[in-house]
Structure 1
Amino acid sequence: MKICVFGAGAIGGYMGVKLAQAGADVSLVARGPHLAAMQGKGLTLLEDGKAPQTVSVTASDNPADLGPQDYVIVTLKAHSVPPVVDKMQPLIGPDTTIVSGVNGVPWWYFHKLGGPLEGTRLASVDPGNAQWDGFGPDRVLGCVVYPAAEVIEPGTIKHIEGNRFSLGEPDGGKSDRAVALSKALMAAGMKAPIRPRLRDEIWVKLWGNLSFNPISALTDTTLDVLCTDEGTRSVARNMMLEAQTIAEKLGVKFPIDVERRIDGGAAVGAHRTSMLQDLDQGRPMEIDALVGSVQELGRVTDTPTPTIDTVLALIKLRGRSAGLYE
């Protein structure tokens, strides 16, 4: 089994080390100083309670060097994927599975969902249908990513928490390809349950990303503050309730309520969300996949989203003023 992790930053690098340690035939696509460090001295993982673990990895910035794969695990930011679909083609053979480990509403969301919206395309996450046409939705295996990690220096990943990567077929089935990948990830020390209703998990995670991320970037506050301040908690609640209305129209079942989800965010503590970190570090902000996609789904389902619309307008302007959003 050949596995390529495309976008081997923090999460992709963490997966790469764990798979390599387990003896998997894994390769990584990365770029810049991080790639140079991996090629020169290997990839190092720091985990609490363990000595630094360094592994030699096959890494390149040119997919043509790696050839067709059984699985391509995509761990880029959502806005970074459509521009590189053409570049990824050398990795794709007749039986390659694309594992979509990207935050936000996935581009394949309406594939095999059934009902009147079957096959609907989402311009906010797949402009020009780049992924729908370039990968093909039948190749996709969904994945909800839970670990937190960061690149603390080129070639070195610090694992913060979590090791679960939930997998799911768009049609909810338990396919051979899902089972094989689940076994490979578990053999590498990760949790990889196969979910018949992966979209439910997508929405529970999206609840937080939709609201906490832009609010934190707009207010420069950590999760513990924005989830307990009366004003920002109210904004987050309203965004989540609007999203819940949309999701339930699409058949999603939420296992927890909004207040528990916000309390869960507060319990994380003084964490700067990924969008706030991107703003801090001058990286493009993941606005469309996390917030714009939910607004688009509101239009698709004829659901008003006044709070989401307001926060989206503000965070887009904040991103543009910082030169981090177009």
Structure 2
Amino acid sequence: MKTRIGILGLGGVGGYFGGLLAREYTKSNTVEIIFIARGETQKNIVESGLKILSDDGETIVFPDLVSDNPELIGTLDYLICATKTYDIETSFELYRKCIAPDTIILPLYNGVDATERINKLFPQNIVLQGCVYIVSMIVAPGIIKKIGPYEKLFFGSKSTKDSRITTLQSIFEKAKIESYFVANIEETVWEKFIFISALASATSYLNQNIGQILSNSESKQVYISLLNEIALVASAKGLKMPKNIIEETIIKLEKSPQEATSSMHRDFLANHKTEVVSLTEFVVKEGQKYRVSTPVYQLILDKLQNKNRFNFRF
């Protein structure tokens, strides 16, 4: 029987990595790729394929199945989920029938609490931890744009060594996905979270892209203050982060496409629902829990919550 892999959430992350899997495995004898999509995204992919734009050109892929019908999707061996963090519970309830007790779930979200939230819904399942480094976004339903060469996927589990996890790594490698199965996955996920949380909060608060933040001393100081606060929270939680985590994170930002911004900033600009709860408020609450002061995060949270509440532009 084929190994059945579902991709839930065809945005910049799910669309890109799902596209690489579909390019390698569609119509193969060993792996079946299912895109879980609805509306215009489903319609466009069925008719024209999923289009990926990158510096190297354009790639169009067709998965084995595109559907939002749990009956058609059927039971999955692996579910890779990359929706927005505010959609976790709703989206999983919609596709509960597709998740058997032995389905392995790989969350690829911006936040760090996804595994815990999914485990509450599916306590019998193996729910991995994962994160990605990539600059990619939806151009239109069924069209993904990737900026720059950087793309890395990290995943693992601190509670199980099931052989099917290493099988998933082999599937990724054959699809030419630069992926790493790591033992210290919680620290790896938090390392990414430190990067993305501070970036999302700063870009959204300042209404600036990466290049603008780095070239403005006051803006850069806001970003560095956020890094210091969230690093203190991680330390208070007992996570073993690199001693030079602040410097390493700034270097990552300097190597990122300077015209790029965070997905949360793009959502604010488009008046869409945002991930401020998972990316900004979560840090404030964790700080309160571990008695770590986060005044800059709190300042930014107050402003961004008002933007969400009153839905106004910059």
Q: Structure 1-normalised TM-score?
A: 0.85
In the alignment, what sits opposite 2:28?
A: none
Question: How big is the shift at 1:36?
Answer: 0.7
Greater fraction of residues in strand: 2
In the alignment, what sits opposite 2:184?
A: 197
Instruction: Give me the whole-angstrom Cα distance separating, in 2, the residues matched to 1:264 and 1:62.
Output: 40
**Correspondences of 1:31-42 after superposition (within 5 Å):** 31-42=38-49
Question: How big is the shift at 1:323?
Answer: 6.7
Instruction: Give me the whole-angstrom Cα distance separating, in 1, the residues matched to 2:180 and 2:73.
Output: 28
Instruction: Tell whether 2:284 aligns with 1:277.
Output: no
Question: How big is the shift at 1:210?
Answer: 1.8
In the alignment, what sits opposite 1:162?
A: 150
**Secondary structure of the corresponding residue to residue 114 of structure 2:** coil
In the alignment, what sits opposite 1:261?
A: 249
- Does structure 1 retain, via aligned residues, the 8 Å contact 2:136–2:144? yes
Instruction: Give me the whole-angstrom Cα distance separating, in 2, the residues matched to 1:139 and 1:292.
Output: 27
- Does structure 2 retain, via aligned residues, the 8 Å contact 1:43–1:57? no
In the alignment, what sits opposite 1:90?
A: 97
**Secondary structure of the corresponding residue to residue 272 of structure 1:** coil
In the alignment, what sits opposite 2:122?
A: 135
**Secondary structure of the corresponding residue to residue 33 of structure 1:** helix
Instruction: Tell whether 2:283 aligns with 1:294.
Output: yes
Instruction: Give me the whole-angstrom Cα distance separating, in 2, the residues matched to 1:99 and 1:134.
Output: 14
**Secondary structure of the corresponding residue to residue 5 of structure 1:** strand
Letter of the 1:63 counterpart? P
Instruction: Tell whether 2:306 aligns with 1:317.
Output: yes
Question: How big is the shift at 1:74?
Answer: 0.6
**Secondary structure of the corresponding residue to residue 177 of structure 1:** helix
In the alignment, what sits opposite 1:209?
A: 196
> Equivalent pairs: percent with the same residue?
23
- Does structure 1 retain, via aligned residues, the 8 Å contact 2:32–2:64? no
Instruction: Give me the whole-angstrom Cα distance separating, in 2, the residues matched to 1:94 and 1:139.
Output: 9
Question: How big is the shift at 1:42?
Answer: 2.0
Q: Aligned in 2, Cα 1:210/1:154: closer, same or farther, shift over 3 Å? A: closer
Q: Aligned in 2, Cα 1:311/1:237: closer, same or farther, shift over 3 Å? A: same
Question: How big is the shift at 1:186?
Answer: 0.8
- Does structure 1 retain, via aligned residues, the 8 Å contact 2:35–2:66? yes
Instruction: Give me the whole-angstrom Cα distance separating, in 2, the residues matched to 1:260 and 1:189.
Output: 26
- Does structure 1 retain, via aligned residues, the 8 Å contact 2:133–2:152? yes
In the alignment, what sits opposite 1:179?
A: 166
Runs of 5+ consecutive residues of structure 1 not aligned to the other structure:
110-125
Runs of 5+ consecutive residues of structure 2 not aligned to the other structure:
26-30
Post-superposition CA distance 1:36-87 (Å, at most 9, x none): 1012222222333345333254111223321111111110011111222211
Question: How big is the shift at 1:138?
Answer: 4.6
Instruction: Give me the whole-angstrom Cα distance separating, in 2, the residues matched to 1:218 and 1:250.
Output: 26
The match for 1:145 among 132, 147, 154 is 132
Question: How big is the shift at 1:284?
Answer: 0.9
In the alignment, what sits opposite 2:32?
A: 25
Q: CA RMSD in A?
A: 2.1
**Secondary structure of the corresponding residue to residue 215 of structure 1:** helix
Letter of the 1:10 counterpart? G
Question: How big is the shift at 1:248?
Answer: 1.5
